[in-house]
Amino acid sequence: MSNHQLEPPSVNLTLTTYDVVPPPNRLADRVQIRIGFSTIRGEVSPFLVQLEYWLDGEWQVIVRYDHDGESPGGHDVRTEGLHLDVYRDGEKVREVTVSLPISANDGFNYAEDDLRENAERYVRRFERWHNITGRANL
């Protein structure tokens, strides 16, 4: 596998290099899910799953799940549990605990499922916070 650098726009974070970075999955004209992950002996680790919105000429993070127990300041879902980072104006404003400690594979699957199932709710909140009226067409 080749390495690709995954750099989410509008977020001032240093991220890991992931082995697998598929093209973002468009959910609507202005909404997409971006995923990056690596595997170690069949276990997904580290990973990033985030929902993004096209605003002001760039992709901005709405919410993000991540797991990287090896990086300084990283989160390890196996010991800390899964959490959801909530973003507003390009900054993380809240961290929501989603589960007790969980395997990285289960956390990765949960994150993808949650963003697909709840994208409309997350997008509507983002649009409300940024005074946007229904541009996402979800």
Q: Which two tokens stand for residue 98?
A: 């989603």
- Taking only the tens place, the pLDDT of each residue in 85-135 is 999 999 999 999 999 999 999 999 999 999 999 999 999 999 999 999 877
- Per the omega criterion (within 30 degrees of 0), is the bond before 46 cis? yes
What pLDDT is attached to residue 19? 86
Q: Which two tokens stand for residue 48?
A: 């990033």
Strands (E), the chain: 4-5, 17-18, 25-28, 31-40, 43-55, 58-67, 83-88, 91-97
Give the integer Cα–Cα distance in Å for 111 and 43.
15
> Is pLDDT above 60 for 5?
no
Q: 88: part of which helix (H) or strand (E)?
A: strand 83-88
Of residues 99 and 73, the one with the higher pLDDT is 99
What pLDDT is attached to residue 7? 43
Work out the average pLDDT over 15-35: 86
- Taking only the tens place, the pLDDT of each residue in 42-54 is 889 899 999 999 9
Q: Which two tokens stand for residue 16?
A: 């890991």
Across the chain, what does the average pLDDT equal?
86
> Is pLDDT above 50 for 37?
yes
What pLDDT is attached to residue 12? 34
Report the amino acid identity of residue 136: A
Q: Above pLDDT 90, what percent of the chain?
A: 67
pLDDT band of 66, cuts 50, 70, 90: very high
What pLDDT is attached to residue 15? 42
Cα 109 from chain centre = 12
* Tally of CB atoms within 10 A around 72: 6
Angle 71-86-36 from CA coordinates, rounded to 5°: 45
